[in-house]
Amino acid sequence: MAVTGRTTNSSQKSGISRQVSESFAACPFLLPTLIVTFIVYLYPMIQLFVLSQRRVVNISNMPYVGLENFRRLFVNDIFPTAITNNLKLLPAVAILLALGSFLAALLNEQMRGWTFYRAIIFLPYILPVPVVGIAFSQMLTRNGVLNTLLAASGLSFLVNDWLGNTSYAIFTIMVVITWKELGFATMLFLARLLSVPRELYEAAAIDGASWWQSFLRISLPELRGIAAILIVLEVFNLLSWVFSYIYTMTAGGPGYSTTVLEFFIYRAAFFWSGELGLASAVCVMLFFAALVSIPVRNRLGGAANE
């Protein structure tokens, strides 16, 4: 027994030594990738933290100010407005959950031509955001296609300056984002429903369950894990991934009614003199918000796979 134990220990040590030697042997091959990663990701991140603690007058004049930039954010008039506008976009998540699950359940019936309908629903998601933004910015102006159609249909009372009215502009952008993201939500839900055994639906139909009852009692429970992941993804997108919509459709206006955090960073960094440190402070805050969301997303992803 002692000999066997020594043999086992020696074999384990030799296995570990072999793994270590293989790891060192791989280092020269990994070095180019590590260098590129440092230059593209790590170095800019380090500089971001450095700039967030400085007042940037010019490249040779950047006095250290500590947490002053973070303090100034909360006395800035535009920063709370930008946060509020991001929050106004969040109802899109609930709309995506409702419409995406409903459309996925319809497509799951695999009616005639369902693959064509699936492609049509998914098509907006693959369109570039700038193209979508520019197209809708033309359609939704005072004299745009939508108002022209409404007037021609006798619905002149619905005509509005959808992107020029401070009360409607941010919600108009929310509708556009929902239209584009709906294909992603639908396909995500459909992929889950297609893995559900058809026997469950057939048994429910034999027992006299209607389509709505099957949807509520079978489909929705199966979609809970995927829905949790979708919520995290879309909330993150709506808080930090809508710059292209804002830039191409309203440029943050009218006034600051559609200015979001990303656009606030852009304006502070490139248009407000000496405010690069302020923009960097907002970036650092978004970075930590994303960092907190990673374990949440991983946990929800693990729950969905169970």
**Residue 49 counted as domain residue:** no
Residue 249 lies inside a defined structural domain of this protein: yes
Contact of 168 with 142, CB cutoff 8 Å: no
Average pLDDT of the segment spanning 149-165: 91
At 259, phi and psi to the nearest 5? -75, 120
275-285: pLDDT as tens digits: 899 999 999 99
For residue 253, the enclosing domain spans 87-260
Q: State residue 149's pLDDT score.
A: 93
**pLDDT of 193-217, one tens digit each?**
999 998 989 899 998 989 999 999 9
Whether the per-residue pLDDT at 20 is higher than 80: the answer is no
From CA 37, how far away is CA 290, in angstroms rounded?
A: 19
| Number of domains composing the chain | 1
Residue at 192 is within a domain = yes
Residue 34 has pLDDT above 70, yes or no: yes
In a domain, 28, yes or no: no
In the block, which residue shows the tokens 């058809």?
Answer: 198
Six-digit token string for 281: 């402070």
Q: What is the pLDDT of residues 55-78, one digit of tens each?
A: 887 777 888 998 999 999 989 999
CATH number at residue 214: 1.10.3720.10
Mean of all residue pLDDT scores within the chain: 87
For residue 31, being part of any structural domain is answered with: no
pLDDT at residue 300 greater than cutoff 70:
no
CA distance 223 to 100: 11
Long-range contacts of 297-304 (CB under 8 A, 24+ apart): 297/229, 297/232, 297/233, 300/225, 300/228, 300/229, 300/232, 301/229, 303/225, 303/228, 304/225, 304/226, 304/228, 304/229
Q: What percent of the chain has pLDDT over 70?
A: 88
61 three-state secondary structure: strand
pTM: 0.84
Three-state DSSP class for residue 224: helix
Q: How confident is the model at residue 89 (pLDDT cuts 50, 70, 90)?
A: very high
* Residue at 212 is within a domain: yes
Q: What is the C-alpha separation between 109 and 115, in angstroms, rounded?
A: 11
Model pLDDT for residues 90-140, shown as the tens digit of each residue: 999 999 999 999 999 999 998 999 999 999 999 999 999 999 999 999 999
